[in-house]
Amino acid sequence: MPLKFYKIYDFAEHGKDPQAVFSVRTIEIKNKLICLARLADAYYAVDDKCPHAGARLGLGKCSEEGKVICPIHRYQYDLKTGRGLPQQGDYVNTYPIETRADGVYIGLDKKWWQI
pLDDT number for residue 109: 84
pLDDT number for residue 90: 92
For 45, residues 6+ apart whose C-beta sits below 8 A from its C-beta are 34, 35, 36, 37, 94, 95, 96, 97, 106
Q: Is the pLDDT of residue 115 over 70?
A: no
Sorted by where each starts, the structural domains of the chain and their CATH numbers stand as 19-99 (2.102.10.10)
The CA distance from 111 to 20, in Å, is: 31
Distance between first and last Cα of the chain = 17
User: Per-residue pLDDT tens for 15-70?
Assistant: 888 999 999 999 998 888 999 999 999 999 999 999 988 999 999 999 999 999 99
Output the average pLDDT for the chain. Answer: 92
pLDDT number for residue 68: 97
pTM for this predicted structure: 0.91
Sign of CA dihedral 7, 76, 23, 33: positive
Burial (0-12, 13-18, 19+ Cβ within 10 Å), 34:
buried
